[in-house]
Amino acid sequence: MTKIIAQLCVSLDGCYAGPRDDEPDWFKSTEAAGFFRITRWVTESMAWRDRQHLAGGEHDVHSEVIAESFARPGAYVMGRRMFEGGEHPWGEEPPFRNPVFVVTHRERERLERQGGTSFTFVTDGLESAVAQAREAANGKDVAIAGGGTIVKQALELGLLDELELHIVPVILGHGQRLLDVNLGVKEGIELVVERTIATPEVTHIRYRVEGRAPLVLDDRGGAYPELAEQG
């Protein structure tokens, strides 16, 4: 059964990039500095480098996590900003090798690239892009590739079945936080841990997304009368 999945690298304080910056050269932006720190483990893995047609890299548990992330999707969804930042660096053979649906307000002709990647531009919202990707995935999973804003929207809309966070032991202090989602004051999004892989460089945690639920007071006041009296 097709699942809607997402994964993202985050710092210990929940940032997936540095503060948003409209610097034309993204590599010089405040966003890039934080992003490159928390994705260092990715670019050092053999599976990632092989996908980019680069030599070298480490064959370790991180590489296995990356290889798995490439194997699962049959289609992708991403935001316009991520597409525009990657269109030229990805070149004629992007790493996706599957249909990609780009959420945007700007109409554009479908792009066909080498290696099986195509880019379809969806102008009627994230839900429509996910529905189109699901149909194109041929029974495989649909990956919300990012950026963080699109993953956050998918969480808020209840579209995600699974979220995997790669938590890097660094505190950025300032940046774009993934889990700063729009919820009611007495509401939460419940998650269930399905897998944890801990290493000194990064902790990989895969969650099943249970969805929104009210935050209900428990009975500790009844179990501990002294607390109720203090309250």
Average pLDDT, the chain: 93
The helix (run of H) or strand (run of E) holding residue 221 is helix 220-223
Domain membership of residue 181 as a residue range: 4-230
What is the pLDDT at residue 123? 97
In this predicted structure, the answer to whether residue 221 has a pLDDT above a threshold of 70 is no
What pLDDT, in 10s, does the model give residues 67-102?
999 999 999 999 999 998 888 889 999 999 999 999
Alpha-helix runs per DSSP H in 7-166 = 30-38, 40-43, 46-51, 61-71, 80-90, 126-136, 148-157
The average pLDDT across 147-152 equals 94
Average the pLDDT over 114-137 and give the result: 97
Cα separation, 19 vs 176, whole angstroms:
6
The answer to whether the beta carbons of residues 121 and 104 sit under 8 Å apart is: yes
Rounded CA-CA distance 135/116 in Å is 16
Query: What CATH code is carried by the domain that includes residue 179?
Result: 3.40.430.10
Structure tokens given for 72: 């699962």
Domains in the chain, number: 1
pTM above 0.75, yes or no: yes
Q: Nearest-CA neighbor of 30 among 44, 19, 40, 39?
A: 19
Residue 222 pLDDT = 66
DSSP 65: H
Q: Which residues lie across from 205 on neighbouring strands?
A: 165, 196
174 secondary structure, DSSP code = S
CB neighbour class for 186 (10 Å; exposed up to 12, middle 13-18, buried from 19): exposed
